[in-house]
Structure 1
Amino acid sequence: MKYIDLHVHSNASDGTLTPTEVVSLAASLSLSAIALTDHDTVAGVAEAQAAALAKSDASNPLRIIPGAEISAAYNGRDIHILGLFLDTKNNALIKTLHEAVAKREERNEKMAANLRGAGIDITVDKLKAAEGEAVLTRAHFAKYMTEHGFTKSNKDAFDRFLNDSSPYYVARDYLSPEATIDLIHEAGGLAVLAHPLLYKYNLEQLDVLISLLAGFGLDGIEAIYSLNTGFDEGIIRRYANRYNLALTGGSDFHGMNKPDISLGSGKGNLKIPESLLESLEKRLK
């Protein structure tokens, strides 16, 4: 059986590997397809596709699914919707993602100022000097704070300074879920709710969220995920059946920013069958 990974990050956002390095790793693992789903950007997709052409051969082809992980606002917090099979040259998509990155930058400036007030020597310019053209996320803040001795680890940085209940946190102006799904569809893609159990809703609240998104045209839901335990996958599969959603799966690979999560295999036992990709393509048609 061949396996895939439909939730992967590169250093175009908050991963640590370049798109080319991600592709090389995927090829070495004999994955048949990966979706590059960086936060609010498709900037790494072209590089990944070119690298896959160079790495692929007839006996071991590797497909790159163009994607993005887009943040949307729901009940005062953010949820993440994956766009898969995106037309990365779609004007509306490019414009909206550029605007989302600009809003991220505004938020990052405010959050850096808050952290400086707490005695942490951090600026957006210093983050950019370290990370280049990457879309800056809180993971970059955590990495910087840890490397410069302000926190013991990335987890410590989030626990003390960067979580959404921290006094230093600054919320972003997000798209609505409906607008996010419409944008993905306009760009020719499928809209998938990422890691639904990470939002910490109880099952009744999660049902309300998924029902709402399904009404907006949600296409799929990420049922196979690195942090699933126990009956988690079965719970999400039931929601998929209830609302006629396609199943997807992904590791949420970030390289060394999430060192315990490996490409393709998550925490070691993740297996995402290629057959899910075939089902998604049928839905796309």
Structure 2
Amino acid sequence: MRYIDLHVHSNASDGTLTPTEVVRLAATLSLSAIALTDHDTLAGIREAQTAALLLSDSENPLRIIPGTEISVAYNKRDIHILGLFLDIDNKVLNDALQEALQKRNERNEEMTARLRGAGINITVEALKAAEGEAVLTRAHFAKYMTEHGYTKSNKDAFEKYLNDSSPYYVPREYLSPETAISLIHQAGGLAVLAHPLLYKYNLEQLDEIISLFAGYGLDGIEAIYSMNTGFDEGIVRRFANRYNLMITGGSDFHGNNKPDIALGTGKGNLLIPETLLEPMEKRLKERSL
């Protein structure tokens, strides 16, 4: 059996490897497919696809599944929906992601202003100079503050300055779940609720969310995930059965920004079988008829 990873980040958002480097690593690990799912952007996909043609074994080619991870608002909380098998040229989706990027930039300007008020010399321009064309996230703030001696570590930066309850934190303006799922479908893709247990809702609240999102057309749920422990995967699989959702799996690889999570294997024992792709492709085919 060959294995896949359907939740992967590059430096097009808050990962540390370029799309080409991610592909090279995936090929070295003999993965059969990865989904590049950078936050609110499709920017790294063409590079990844080109790299896969050049770097993977012709007898066992590495498949690049175009994706993104879209932040949506639910009860004033940030929930993530993965879009998989996307048409990266879809104008409606690209326009929406560009608007989300603009709102993210406005939020970043306000956050850097608040941090400067606390004596931290940080600007969006400095972050962009360090990170190039990446979609700037709080992970980039943390990295900058640590490298410039304002915090001891990225974790320290989040605990002191970047967590949701910090006076320096600025909430973003998000898409609604219904809109995000609709955009993914318009771009020919599948909408998947990412890491459902990471939001720390109790099971009754989580059932409420999944039921609502399923009503909007949610296709799948990320049941196989790096941070799962104990009975976590079984819990998510039961929700999938209850709402007729497909199972997906991903490491949430970010390179050195999450050094304890490896591509393909997560914390060491993650195994996502290639066979998970079959029902996804079947649903996409049925939808296109």
TM-score range, shorter chain: over 0.9
Question: Cα offset for 1:166?
Answer: 1.1
Counterpart check, 1:21 vs 2:25:
no
Code of the aligned partner of 2:220:
G
Q: Specify the code of the residue in structure 1 equivalent to 2:24.
A: S
Instruction: Count residues with an aligned counterpart.
Output: 285
Q: Which residue matches 2:265?
A: 265
Please report how far the alpha carbon of residue 257 of structure 1 lies from its aligned counterpart in structure 2 after TM superposition: 0.5
| Post-superposition CA distance 1:22-78 (Å, at most 9, x none) | 000000000000000000000000000000011233322100000000000000011
SS in 2 for 1:99: helix
Question: Who is 1:233 aligned against?
Answer: 233
1:1-285 equivalence runs, <5 A: 1-285=1-285
1:188 maps to amino acid: G
Distance 2:67 2:42 in 1: 7
Return the offset for 1:145.
0.7
Q: Secondary structure at the match of 2:264?
A: coil
SS of corresponding position for 1:191: strand
- Cα separation, 1, equivalents of 2:156 and 2:195: 22
- Unaligned ranges ≥5, structure 1: none
- Separation in 2 of the partners of 1:227 and 1:152? 24
The 1-side partners of 2:144 and 2:92 are apart by 33
3-state SS of paired residue (1:98): helix
**Match of 1:21, as an amino acid?**
E
Q: Partners in 2 of 1:150 and 1:271 — Cα distance? A: 38
Q: Distance in 1 between matches of 2:240 and 2:283?
A: 14
Distance (whole Å) between structure 2 residues aligned to residue 171 and residue 156 of structure 1: 20
- Shift in Å at residue 165 of structure 1? 1.3
Normalising by structure 1, report the TM-score.
0.99
**1: distance between equivalents of 2:141 and 2:172?**
15
Residue 277 of structure 1, CA deviation: 1.2
Aligned-residue RMSD, C-alpha: 0.7
CA offset at residue 283 of structure 1? 1.7
For each residue in 1:207-259, what CA deviation from the matched residue of structure 2 results, as whole angstroms up to 9, or x when unmatched? Answer: 00000000000000000000111110000000000000000000000000111
CA distance in 1, matches of 2:185, 2:215: 14
Give me the TM-score of the superposition, normalised by structure 2: 0.98
- 1:90 Cα shift? 0.2
Which piece of structure 1 moves more, 144-153 or 237-246? 144-153
Deviates most, 116-125 or 4-13: 116-125
CA distance, structure 1, for counterparts of residue 116 and residue 206 of structure 2: 37
CA offsets per residue over residues 187-217 of structure 1, 9 Å max, x none?
Answer: 0000000010111100000000000000000
Distance in 1, matches of 2:284 and 2:116, equals 47
* Aligned AA (1:118): A
Gaps of 5+ in 2: none
SS at match of 2:175: coil
**Partners in 1 of 2:57 and 2:160 — Cα distance?**
48
Match for 2:275: what amino acid? S
Runs of 4 or more above 3 Å deviation: none
Which residue identity is paired with 1:14? D
Contact 2:27 2:57 in 1 (8 A): no
C-alpha distance in 2 between matches for 1:240 and 1:170: 33
